[in-house]
Amino acid sequence: MDGSKIIDKRIGVLMGGLSTERDVSLKTGEAVFETLKDAGLDVVLIDVDRDIATRLKEERIELAFIALHGQYGEDGAIQGLLELMGTPYTGSGILGNALSLNKIVAKELLRYHDIMTPDFCVVKRDEFFNSRGFSSHLDLPFVVKPVSQGSTIGISIVKDKADIDSAIRKAFEYEDEIFIERYIDGILIAVGILGDQPLPIIEIHPGKGFYDYRSKYTKGMTEYIVPARLEGEKYLWCQSMALNAHNVLCCKGVSRVDIIVGRDGRPYVLEVNTIPGMTETSLLPMAAKEMGLSFRDLVTKMLEMAVEER
């Protein structure tokens, strides 16, 4: 990428923020900043707090690379602010972020459009703590998840009835609404979307069986296979499903779609990430590299798409 569309722009890399995924965001932001700095672009690193509007004005930011994960970054909040300020930014708009981060809304939309996703039921804090017990139409094992957290924060796989209560209480530490999802035994894959093109699929094999926070961010704990070892038609099916999910949730620019391919051979969309991790070892750059796109080229492409889109 020649970067001609962004060469004269003052770029702000927005990272950190106020969510539970702050630490991951800092790593993403620093990796992106160093790459843009090495490319000779006019770039400034901004740790986002509640004074972000003032900081953007002071730094005269003309183009924003959003490296924020979770609340205020992937929920449409920062995108709304940038829209008001007339500043182009990377990734999806307000609606795409809001729809994708709320996993219940996302799953309902996916099902409406006949995109397979595991069965689920919703649990609200007041209903749970005011009742004498918990009942679900889902059989064990199942997965307990907060509605809007990423990086597997607050998630538990429940295999024993005795563990249900503690798993639900753990998820309620983060949000007032959680959901119970049918556990699908199978192969976890990730499909990156860049523009309107699915990237090579990544097959994920965590060493401890559950792709949790440590498995994601501790080097050597997880094996990644690119491209994924899926037979031809199934490979294309998963790529097509990922692109459909990206479009149904009104995503733009870039996303990462997490899918589990069940033992029955059927793929189920777990979630769509509108702001995937962007370090040298993150999944999206890993997939881009497989198709010959360097980390610098990927970051530059995302900024160029932001200028074109907005």
Strands 177-182 and 222-225: unpaired
Q: Which residues pair with 142 in a beta bridge?
A: 158, 182
Helix residue ranges per DSSP H, 75-131: 77-85, 94-101, 103-112, 125-130
Between CA 209 and CA 207 the distance in angstroms is: 6
Longest pairwise C-alpha distance within the chain:
63
Active site residues: 21, 151, 217, 256, 258, 271, 273, 277
Q: Per the structure block, which two tokens stand in for 80? A: 């709304």
In degrees, to the nearest 5, what angle opens at C-alpha 222 toward C-alphas 288 and 234?
55
Hey, what are 44's tokens? 């400034």
Helix residue ranges per DSSP H, the chain? 22-38, 52-58, 77-85, 94-101, 103-112, 125-130, 164-172, 213-217, 232-248, 283-290, 295-309
DSSP state of 200: P
